[in-house]
Amino acid sequence: MRVPAKVNLHLGVGPRRSDGYHELANVFQAVSLYDEVTATRADELSVEVTGADGVPVDESNLAVQAARALASAAGVEPGVHLRLAKGIPVAGGMAGGSADAAAALVACDALWGTGVDRATLAALAAALGSDVPFALHGGTALGTGRGELLSAVLGRGQYHWVFALADGGLSTAAVYAELDRQRTEAMAAAPAGAPDGVLAALRAGDPIALGRVLANDLAPAAVRLRPQLRRVIGAGQELGALGTVVSGSGPTVAFLVRSAAMSISFASALAGLDVCRSIRRAHGPVAGARILPPDSP
């Protein structure tokens, strides 16, 4: 299975609900940074991770939780060895853990031939994490509720991105908690900002308009927890990005640029500023979790 990362084009955070989650108006775009997840039959459940440090291989791994949840819903033994080849930055706000969970669901479903219906798979995905349904969906989508209620967004065009990766991740829960600390009572009660500008820019297929309206309510909290991000975000304007946005809960910062060629020159200029650990280029939207044909690289 190959499963993409996401970037948030609009992340409007509304009131905190009684279950602790926040109401969102969240426009996701799947981008061409991928994890590859392989499921092979085994007596017991185990997981192996390549391509990144710091990913847990115990029960806290979301792919392990996905395999267990599916096995229990389908009434089968969770016999599988999962291999996660990481291409998505870890704890970077690009939903790498959610991507692995989505891919594990589909891969184990195929391996075990569970025959669970799509609605069950979608419910399992939502229970695993707010971003897991989107990793199955791919493309561009609006997520409401806590982010798990998806509707496809009609849009045109290919968008080109450069991502600045930071040293070390940020915990999503910690960033939301910091946002709660920063917000006044009135701010905390206001509904999530509507993504009208982003939706209009996507309908028009206009990257310049999209660049102007990229927005993330979590950004101030991420910057507060990681003040170095201010310089990374500042680099977007300095280097002429169409738009700059913290991806999800950060610390990855996304720069929208005009073309694939521009993403190469932008990435090298960004490297010259020495404000981030590493840099990736990608385009979107791309498809969600997919089974790779056997002859793919």
Q: What would the x/- binding string for ligand C5P be over residues 94 to 123, using CB under 6 A?
A: ------------------------------
Strands 215-216 and 80-85: unpaired
Quick check: 134 binds ligand C5P (CB under 6 A)?
no
Q: Which of 100, 109, 131, 217 is catalytic?
A: 131
Which has the closest alpha carbon to 159: 3, 6, 292?
Answer: 6
DSSP line for 203-235 = HHT-HHHHHHH-EETTHHHHHHH-TTHHHHHHH
Shortest spacing between CB 99 and ligand C5P, in angstroms: 12
Quick check: 22 binds ligand C5P (CB under 6 A)?
yes
C-alpha–C-alpha distance, residues 23 and 15, integer Å:
6
Quick check: 137 binds ligand C5P (CB under 6 A)?
no
Shortest spacing between CB 268 and ligand C5P, in angstroms: 34
Contact predicate 131/98, CB 8 Å: yes
Q: Which of 138, 147, 250, 284 binds ligand C5P (CB under 6 A)?
A: 147
Stretch that binds ligand C5P, among 128-136, 153-161, 181-189, 206-214 (CB under 6 A): 128-136
The number of residues making up the chain comes to 297
- Of residues 150-209, which lie at the interface with ligand C5P (CB under 6 A)? 172-173, 176
Residue type for position 85: A
Whether 86 is catalytic is no
Q: Is 198 helix (H, G, I), strand (E, B) or coil?
A: helix
Quick check: 24 binds ligand C5P (CB under 6 A)?
yes
Q: Is 40 helix (H, G, I), strand (E, B) or coil?
A: strand
Contact set with ligand C5P (CB under 6 A): 20-22, 24, 129-131, 146-147, 172-173, 176
